[in-house]
Chains A and B, each alone.
Chain A
Amino acid sequence: MNTDAILNGLKEKFGPLVTETVKRNGKRYVVTINPSAILNVSEYLYREAGCRFIIASALHTKRGFEIHYHFSKDDCGLVLNIHVILDHNKPSIESLSNMFNASNWIEREMHELFGIDFINHPNQEKLISEGNWAEGVYPYRKEFK
């Protein structure tokens, strides 16, 4: 499956749940989706399109908690950033770790640093600061006026 086929497939299968597609260059796309579709979109990319999950980047902005899920389609050098925006007050999203192990650690890390809840994560324990960091304090959160 090439880049165009993957992007068209996203549009056809998920229609209105895909809110924006931005082309950075021929090999880099940012696709913003509704957070409720993350499990189905990832399943399509992983199982049908043959993409590899690289990692996810979380960031805290004025819009809320944003996560970029980076998928790589190795045979065409494509990096697809699946972007979701989560609510400020109670950030939560479905975990991908029951589909592939590659997201297990990074979801634990995002939970620990940003306080994002990953629903149905098999083991949402702390990854890097077990035993030496206060509960309910999230070091990468920012304060906005």
Chain B
Amino acid sequence: MSNKFLIPIGPYHPLQEEPELFKLYCEGEIVKDIKWETGYNHRGIEKLAESKTYDQVFFLVERICGICSTSHPFAFANAVEEICNIEITNRARYIRSIIGELERIHSHLLWVGLAGHFLGYNTVFMWAWKYREPVLDLFEMITGNRNSYAMFKVGGVRRDIEGHKIREIRKVLDEVKKKTDLLTGAVMDDPVIHARTKGVGILTKEDIIDFGAVGPTARASGVAIDVRKDDPYAAYPLVNWKVITATAGDVFAKAEVRLLEMYESISIIEQCLDGLEKEKEGDINIKVKNIPEGIGTGRAEAPRGEVFHCVFSDGSNSPARHKIRAPSYVNIATFKKSCIGQSISDATISLAAVDPCYCCTERLAVAYDMHTGEKIMNGADIIRASAGQTRLIMKNLKMKV
């Protein structure tokens, strides 16, 4: 008689805020098999893209993922510019890379925090998310938004980074560097983290090649692939940096790769800022009249790995077909290797180690009354309600309103 039993994680689970369902088939404490069910968040974005114009698709693909919201427009821009066969200005290249790297820093900090949370080490969680805040504030200053920055367009970017903003970015980066030192030291030297992550959820080089895994998941297993280096785009060929790799393939190696990558990102941004100061202000895009017929394959290295967009153009103003592959699509499949044979408590951090992103952003909905068709609540109402609630709490705490 088999003693196998099933432990479901999800579809709605307090630890991961996104809908997913992992079925862990266990014998005692040990995970013997794992199945993943998806589709809780299927939004038909590839199909939707066929009904939008090229300019509108940027805003659509930006909403695929809330964390790495610039990586999809990045890959899409690369794909469309490949069809048009155009070169963007150097200033636009630098700005694109700055946005991409700032995003990598905030995404990796988010992961470090979440990993701490998964291990039951909430101090790391709170530190990392606190240090991430100034990066999001920088985004607000540069683009007007903390997430979904709407910076990219075919032929360049939509906003410039002027002199005073460059100075502000440098100031914040210095701070971020100090905090990253602190966090890296704390994580890398902590015996508890060593005990919980070393030798856990190992992926070998062969597993990575078999599953086609990408990003820090691949680099932590000694597969040195990085689109920024292999197939350079934006300002990456104009600056000096190195690809961070590790060989152990366990959760600790993945954490190490991500933490060290943040230093490379900071260095790339600093060099891009130097480059910006040499270029003429305002020279951020070139005019593109129409998109010719053809196929364009655009890639960008998102914080989680290679984002791939394939755009088929029939010469009209919207894509005839738009195929999108997010990095988690190939990384999540590696759970078959990393989780089986682990204990249940180690399986959770192994699941989190690839930084899975279920490509989901919750967005505002407007509710209508079914019978009268009247709008019950719109965006302004929700903001009013939220601000009112904050004022009430402050009043109850006798804080100055």
Using a CB–CB cutoff of 8 Å, the interface residues on chain A facing chain B are 24-25, 27-28, 30, 52-55, 57, 59, 68, 70, 72, 74-77, 79, 81, 100-102, 104-106, 127-130, 132, 139-140
Contact = CB atoms under 8 A, between A and B. Distances in A.
Contacts of B225: 52, 74
Contacts of B47: 139-140
B212 interface: yes
A43 to B, nearest CB: 14
Interface string B309-328: 01010000000110101000
B297 interface: yes
A75 B333 CA distance: 24
A66 B317 CA distance: 22
Given A77-B230, A101-B211, 12 more contacts: A30-B295, A52-B212, A54-B325, A55-B330, A57-B321, A68-B310, A70-B297, A75-B230, A81-B295, A100-B211, A101-B212, A139-B47
Contacts of A132: 39
Interface in B14-51: 37-39, 42, 44, 46-47
B320 A104 contact: no
A105 B323 contact: no
Interface string B49-93: 000000000000000000000000000000000100100000000
A102 B178 CA distance: 39
**Chain A's interface: helix, strand, loop or mixed, by majority?**
mixed
A55 B308 contact: yes
B230 A55 contact: no
Contacts of A54: 212, 306, 308, 325
B42 A129 contact: yes
A70 B330 contact: no
A100 B223 CA distance: 17
A127 B38 contact: yes
Contacts of B306: 54
Given A70-B308, A128-B42, A139-B47, A101 B333 contact: yes
B323 A127 contact: no
A62 to B, nearest CB: 11
Contacts of B296: 24
A102 B312 CA distance: 23
Interface of B: 37-39, 42, 44, 46-47, 82, 85, 209-212, 225, 230-232, 294-297, 299, 306, 308, 310, 312, 320-321, 323, 325, 329-330, 333, 336
A28 B39 contact: no
A100 B294 contact: no
Contacts, number: 84
Contacts of B294: 24
A132 B297 CA distance: 32
A81 B294 CA distance: 13
Contacts of A75: 230
B295 A24 contact: yes
Contacts of B211: 100-102
Nearest to A52: B212
Nearest to A55: B325
B37 A130 contact: yes
Rank and list the top 10 A-B pairs by shortest CB-CB distance, nearest first.
Answer: A102-B212, A77-B231, A57-B323, A128-B39, A55-B325, A59-B321, A74-B230, A57-B310, A74-B225, A101-B211
B232 A28 contact: no
A140 B48 CA distance: 11
Nearest to A60: B321
A14 B282 CA distance: 52
Contact of B38 (A24, A25, A77, A128): A128
Nearest to A133: B39
Given A52-B209, A55-B323, A102-B330, A25 B295 contact: no
Contacts of B323: 55, 57, 68
A46 to B, nearest CB: 9
A126 to B, nearest CB: 8
Contact of A127 (B39, B295, B310, B320): B39
A53 B82 contact: no
A52 to B, nearest CB: 6
A46 B38 CA distance: 28
A128 B38 CA distance: 6
A140 B45 CA distance: 12
Contacts of B329: 55, 105-106
Nearest to A104: B333
A75 B226 CA distance: 10
Contacts of A24: 82, 294-296
